[in-house]
Amino acid sequence: MNPAWSSPSGRCLRSSLSTLTGACKADRPPGLPAAGAGLYTVPFVVQPGPIPTVTSPLSASPPRPNLFLIGAMKSGTTSLHALLAMHPQVFMCEPKEPCYFLDPDQLRRYWPEMWERRYWQSEAAYLELFATAGDVPVIGESSTDYSKLPRFAGVVDRLRAFNPQARFIYIMRDPVERTLSHYWHMVTHRAERRDMLTALREEPHYLEVSHYARQLRPYLDAFSGERILTLTFEALQSDPLTTLQQVFAWLGVDPDFVPPDPDKRENATAERIQQVSGRGLLHRLRHSRLWDQVGPWVPAGVRRLGVRLSVREVDRTGVDRQAAIDYLRPIQREQTEELGRLLGCDFPEWKTLYG
C-alpha cells in the first residue's frame, strides 16, 4: 500500500466550520455583509490568506494538492471545479476525479474506467496530474467519491496523512433532488434497470450519499473546522458570481476575479438521456484509457455505430417522481435536521425536501 496512506498518529479537534449555506441560526460576524438571502459565512470568518503548499520531502516539484472538492456527487461539483480552474491563482487537475485516496479494489469494482487510468499505482503517478500547476497557491482536485461512506472508507485518514494542511469544499444540494439525479446518473452510466422507487428502496447507496452530516463528520474530526467550507448548490445556482467570489476569498486568492461565464452549468442531466445497453461493455470501452489512445484512429462511421450499440435513449419526462419523493422526504428531513445541528444552519432553499 502507498506509504502516504498510513493512518495519522493524531487527530485534530474540531474548532469551527466555515459555511456558505442556508439561513444560519448564528449571528453573522460583525462587518460581514449578507450576500443575498441566506448566503454568508458563519460562525467563523477565515481571513484571506494563501493555503500552505506541502511538497514531497524528496522533491519540490510537483507540489501536492492542497484543496479537495469532496462532493457531494450531482450537486454542482463539475461546474464548481471548472469555475475554480478559471482563476489564475488556482490549478484544478484533469481528470477532475482521479480518486487516488480510494482503496484500489473498491475503485476497480465501482468505477473500472477510472481504475484503468492507474493513478492509484503510485504517488508519483498521482502527482503528475499537478506537474503543470506552476507556483499558484491553490492546487486541487474534485473526487466526489471522497464523501461516499460507507462504500469508500479510510479516505479521510489517507488525506490527512498525505497533507494535514489541506482544505476541503463540500457542496450540498436539496437531498431529494440530489438522490433522484444520482439515480438518473446510474441509469445513464451503470445500466440501472430498476424503476426509480424500487432502486431507491433496494440500494442504500443512493440515500447514503445524501446523508451530508454523516459524510462531513469524519472530516470535522480529522481537520480543524476552518479548513472545511460548505455551501449549497442552490446558492451557486441562484447567485453564482457572489458565491464564487466568497469561495475565492476563503481560499485567499483574488476575490474580485470574474470568470468568463459564471452562470454556465456543467454536466446537467438532460430531459432525454442515453442509457447504457446490455452489460455496458461497449460503454466501458468508449470511456477507457485504451479508447483514449486508439479512438482517434477508428473510422468515424465505426465510432458512430459503437455509440448506437452501446446506449439507448430514455425520456425522463415520462417518469413519475412523486412516489420516490414521498418515500425520500421523511428520511431526508430527519437527516437534514442532523445536518442543521452540525452546522447551525437551516436550508429553506431545499424546496423539494420540504414541499
Could you state, in chain order, the average pLDDT of each consecutive group of 10 residues for the chain (355 residues)? 38 42 44 32 36 45 90 97 97 98 97 94 96 96 99 98 97 98 89 92 98 98 95 96 97 96 72 60 60 74 63 70 97 98 96 95
pLDDT of residue 109: 94
pLDDT of residue 311: 61
- Rounded to whole angstroms, how far apart are CA atoms 173 and 231? 9
In whole angstroms, what separates CA 114 from the centre of its chain?
15
* Segment 51-65, tens digit of pLDDT: 544 444 444 567 899
Torsion-angle region of residue 214: left (phi > 0), alpha (psi -120 to 50) or beta? alpha
Phi, psi dihedrals of residue 92, rounded to the nearest 5°: -115, 130
pLDDT of residue 266: 72
Torsion-angle region of residue 320: left (phi > 0), alpha (psi -120 to 50) or beta? beta
* Segment 274-296, tens digit of pLDDT: 666 655 555 565 556 676 777 77
In the three-class reduction of DSSP (H, G, I as helix; E, B as strand; rest coil), residue 17 is classed as coil
Helices and strands, number each (H, E), in the chain:
16, 9
- Rounded to whole angstroms, how far apart are CA atoms 198 and 324? 9
Pairing relation of β-strands 18-20 and 41-43? antiparallel
Fold of 3-269+320-354: Rossmann fold (3.40.50)
Residue found under cell 498525505: 162
- Rounded to whole angstroms, how far apart are CA atoms 67 and 227? 9
Q: Is the Cα torsion angle 51, 52, 53, 54 positive or negative in sign?
A: negative
